[in-house]
Structure 1
């Protein structure tokens, strides 16, 4: 009986990393790029000791004004793993349940599927326990201003010279 229980625990534990990878794999390439940008910024902080992985999306939205341009907003969670920061192959990393989730909101402009440098991509990630309603509102407002400040809604009114 103990051997069967040990086998079940071993097999069950092997599914946790794949669940994280599956959630990430279900994202479109444009949303994956935003998650990668947030992970890169998070892992660059000196105080971060664990490797983080994408956990789940809370909200995805985009505006396509045309001409292969898209403005993306993605609200998602990252979760700490048992692997140290800088792990080269995180596929074997298991989630930790003793650390708070990281709540991220990112928005950026893409052109032909690639993130543009202007306007500068916006990345806001904080521990979920410290996220306030004001912070959430500020994220959305910043992203709304970003998409409208580029002139995106007026792209179709441009008149060419003959």
Structure 2
């Protein structure tokens, strides 16, 4: 009986520590801001009925252009949760994932100055259900983000890859 109790306590500790390793919390703050932009856009859409949570990064890149100005690109997945949109959930990151809906494939690019998102050029956010994403949409995303960094005289944003997550 004591062994079963010890096993139960150990299992609880493992689950608790795994929960603390939330992928969103592991992101640098500059990339969290882009995820937050995408989540804000999704929650304002009338056709979206549930909260989403960050699942994982597919690609991240950034360019330092001097004077504490950076251009960031982040391609990631969001996963729907069981929490309804608009509920007074104290921590949406605790909402359990649901597996009966497709992932949301998102790409964001934006300029930061002193770690704050600049309004010019306007941040770009594109999210679509993963099965609906076409090659043409991927190309449009990439070209938009390249133009954003070229318009400011910076090297192309997608040419500098800081990290790729698998």
Matching residue of 1:94: 96
Q: Give the drift of 1:18.
A: 2.6
Matching residue of 1:18: 19
- When normalised by structure 1's length, the TM-score is 0.81
Deviations 1:22-44 (A, max 9, x none): 10011100000000000000000
Distance 1:129 1:97 in 2: 14
**Which runs of no fewer than 5 residues in structure 2 stay unpaired?**
156-166
The secondary structure found in structure 2 opposite 1:103 is strand
Question: Quick one: higher RCO (CA 8 Å, sep 6+), 1 or 2?
Answer: 2
- When normalised by structure 2's length, the TM-score is 0.80
Q: CA RMSD in A?
A: 2.3
Matching residue of 2:159: none
Moved more, 144-153 or 97-106: 144-153
Residue 18 of structure 1 contacts residue 91 of structure 1 at CA under 8 Å; is this kept in 2? no
Runs of 4+ in 1 over 6 A off after TM superposition: none
**Which runs of no fewer than 5 residues in structure 1 stay unpaired?**
154-162
Residues 1:69 and 2:55 aligned together: no
Matching residue of 2:38: 38
The secondary structure found in structure 2 opposite 1:126 is strand
Q: Give the drift of 1:135.
A: 0.7
